[in-house]
Amino acid sequence: MYYNHCTYLAWVSKVRVNTQAVLKRAQQIQGRNKNKKQWQAAWLLRAVTCIDLTTLAGDDTPGNVHRLCMKATQPVRYDLLKSMDMQDKGVTTAAVCVYPSRVADAVKSLKAANSSLPVASVATGFPAGQTSLKTRLEEVRMAVEDGAMEIDIVINRTLALTGQWEAMYEEVCQFREACGEAHMKSILAIGELGTYTNVYKASLVAMMAGSDFIKTSTGKESVNATYPVAIVMVRAIRDYFLKTGHKVGFKPAGGIRTAKESLVWLTLMKEELGDEWLSPRLFRLGASSLLADIERQIYHHVTGRYAAYHQMPMA
Ligand SMILES: O=C[C@H](O)COP(=O)(O)O
C-alpha cells in the first residue's frame, strides 16, 4: 500500500471542485503567455525535450516506428541547432511512445542508434481499458519484458464513474506492481470522467496508488487535454505534494498540435507548480503531431522565414 487506506478514502470523499474558479484560472493562464521573443526559441527547445513523441495508429509498422525513433533522437535540424549554439547539448525528445506490440521495434531502433532514450508504451487495454484485469496486467508485464521503461496505463473509467474509488486504487496498485522498475503514467481519460470533481478524485487515487505521472487523455476521446482540466489535475498534484512530500509529474496529451499551445502548457506548469515541473522528469507533452510546428517556429526564429512542412524531416 502506498498510502494509508482510511486517510485516503476520507480525503477523496471530501473533494469538491469550484468550477467557476477553475475556468477563470484557465482563462488567465492562456492570456499569460508573454515570453519575450528572444526567449521563445529557448522555451520551444524546452518543450521539445519534454515531448513523448508518439505513434498510436493501427497501421504502425517497424518502418514508421524506426523513423519516429530517429526523429526523437534528432528532433530539430542540426543546422538550426547550430545557429543557436545548441548542437552539442544533446537535444532529444523525452521518450518515444508506442503500442505494446511495437515496443520491441522501438527498443531495437534506439539501440542500433546508440540512444538511451526510453521507450514508453500504452497498456491495460488502451484506450478503453475494457479488457479483463488479468489481460491488462499481462499486457503491462509483456511491454516491460520487451524493454519499455515507461508504461502509460489507462484507469478503469467504469470504477471512477460509479464511485468505486477503493477498487480503482487496488487496480492501479496492481498495475504499479506489474510495472516493476518501469515508470508508470496513469491516463485518466478526462473526456469520459464527467465532472471536475471526478477528475480531481481520480488524480488523487492514481497518485496514492504510486503513479509517477498523471496524464490527461489517450488522444482517442472526443475531449482531450484542456486547460481547465489541467488546472484541476495540477492542483491535485500540488495538494498531494504538500500532504505527502511526493512529487508527481503531469502529462497533457491528445490534440496538442501547435508551438503556441506548448508554450501555454509550459506557462501553466511554471505558474502552478514551479520551475521544478518544467523538466522531463516531471513534465511531458504527449503528442504525435506537435514537433513539426515547433521545428517550423524555430526555423522562423533562426532564418526569419517560415519553412514548408516538407522542409522538415518527418515529425
Ligand atoms: O499519448 C499521446 C496521445 O495519444 C497523442 O495524441 P495526439 O495523436 O492527438 O497527439
Tens of pLDDT, residue by residue over 74-114, are 999 999 999 999 999 999 999 999 999 999 999 999 999 99
- The response to whether residue 118 sits with its C-beta less than 6 Å from ligand 1 reads no
Domain ranges of the chain: 5-311
User: What atom of ligand 1 comes closest to residue 255's alpha carbon?
Assistant: 9
Rounded to the nearest integer, the mean pLDDT of the chain is 94
Q: How many residues does the chain have?
A: 315
- The response to whether residue 54 sits with its C-beta less than 6 Å from ligand 1 reads yes
pLDDT of residue 256: 98
State how far the alpha carbon of 188 is from the alpha carbons of 88, 194, 203, 218, 251, in Å: 37, 11, 7, 8, 11
12: its cell numbers: 477523496
> Does residue 233 have a pLDDT over 70?
yes
* Active-site annotation, residues: 215, 251
CB contact set of 242 (below 8 Å; sequence gap of 6+): none
Cis peptide before 127 (omega within 30 of 0): yes
Q: Which of 185, 217, 284, 294 to mutate to test the pocket of ligand 1 (most atoms within 8 A of CB)?
A: 217
Query: Model confidence over 144-203: pLDDT tens digits?
Result: 999 999 999 999 999 999 999 999 999 999 999 999 999 999 999 999 999 999 999 999
User: What atom of ligand 1 comes closest to residue 251's alpha carbon?
Assistant: 1
CA dist., res. 10 & res. 48, Å (int): 40
> Does residue 37 have a pLDDT over 80?
no
* Closest C-alpha to ligand 1, atom 4: 219
Mean pLDDT of all residues in 13-18: 91
Q: Which of 56, 261, 289 to mutate to test the pocket of ligand 1 (most atoms within 8 A of CB)?
A: 56
- The response to whether residue 218 sits with its C-beta less than 6 Å from ligand 1 reads yes
- The response to whether residue 255 sits with its C-beta less than 6 Å from ligand 1 reads yes
User: What atom of ligand 1 comes closest to residue 256's alpha carbon?
Assistant: 10
State how far the alpha carbon of 185 is from the alpha carbons of 124, 165, 266, in Å: 12, 18, 19
pLDDT of residue 5: 64
- The response to whether residue 286 sits with its C-beta less than 6 Å from ligand 1 reads yes
User: What atom of ligand 1 comes closest to residue 288's alpha carbon?
Assistant: 10
Interface ipTM above 0.90: yes
- The response to whether residue 55 sits with its C-beta less than 6 Å from ligand 1 reads no
Domain 5-311 has CATH 3.40.50.620: no
- Name the least confident of 10-19, 65-74, 200-209: 10-19
User: What atom of ligand 1 comes closest to residue 224's alpha carbon?
Assistant: 9
CA dist., res. 72 & res. 50, Å (int): 11
> Does residue 315 have a pLDDT over 70?
no
- The response to whether residue 198 sits with its C-beta less than 6 Å from ligand 1 reads no
- The response to whether residue 216 sits with its C-beta less than 6 Å from ligand 1 reads no
